[in-house]
Amino acid sequence: MRIDIITLFPELLQSPFEVSIMKRALENGKVEVHFHNPRDYSNNRYKQVDDYPFGGGAGMVMMIEPIDKCIQELKAKNDYDEVIYLTPDGEVLNQGMANQLSLSGNLILLCGHYKGVDQRVRDHLITKEISIGDFVLSGGELAAAVLCDSIVRLLPGVLGDESSALTDSFQDGLLAPPIYTRPAVYNSWEVPEILTSGNSPKIESWREQKAFERTRELRPDLLKDTEI
């Protein structure tokens, strides 16, 4: 997979790709990540990429021309499955969306800044708009890092145990069950006996039941289409 990220502040995004799973995915060639600054596509002598909104109002707006030039240059070299704009009013990211995007070959991510981008970018250049929640950030860079992490960890060969991702919360519409590790007793707090029994079928049944109970207690909205 190749991910091209268009951002005014690439330095905000570099560190998430330099550690842990993301770093390993890059080093193993499972994903390529490239950063592109719209300022490099500005014809303005001051490399201006933002301007005041037509009709007045507070804040500045990212201009269409540098963004369009950047996207067109990328498209001339590669085929892309989606051109994604990170925005608070986009479709909220969930596990199903991450699963689907992980099957893509190449993606472009556009990080907005200031008051956002010229609407014509969204109308004519963007194929998908994604939000990571109902709140506003200073720019789309952190949202892009979240999106990349949620996708890259699903790529074959990225996780040490590929079955690990299949047991994450939301993969089956439920929250994950409680998990424990050694020691079995700590400060008189004990691990449920079933987990140390060695009875795999009973352990699996216990996990399924606990996952359902946790979901019903913490996120009943996930069960709205399920008979309880």
Determine the pLDDT at residue 163: 53
Please give the full DSSP string across 104-143, using - where no structure is assigned: -SEEEEEE-BTT-B-HHHHHHT-SEEEESSSS--SBSHHH
24 contacts 145 by C-beta, under 8 angstroms: no
Determine the pLDDT at residue 228: 44
Q: Mean pLDDT for each 10-residue chunk of the chain (228 residues)?
A: 97 93 96 97 92 94 97 98 97 96 98 95 98 95 97 91 58 88 96 97 96 95 70
Determine the pLDDT at residue 45: 85
CA distance 67 to 54: 18
Determine the pLDDT at residue 167: 59
112 contacts 140 by C-beta, under 8 angstroms: yes
pTM: 0.88
Domain ranges of the chain: 2-152, 169-223
Determine how β-strand 106-111 pairs with β-strand 82-92: parallel
CATH superfamily of this structure's domain 169-223? tRNA(m1g37)methyltransferase, domain 2 (1.10.1270.20)
CATH topology of domain 2-152: Alpha/beta knot (3.40.1280)
φ and ψ at residue 130, rounded to 5 degrees: -130, 140
Determine the pLDDT at residue 161: 59
28 contacts 160 by C-beta, under 8 angstroms: no
Determine the pLDDT at residue 10: 95
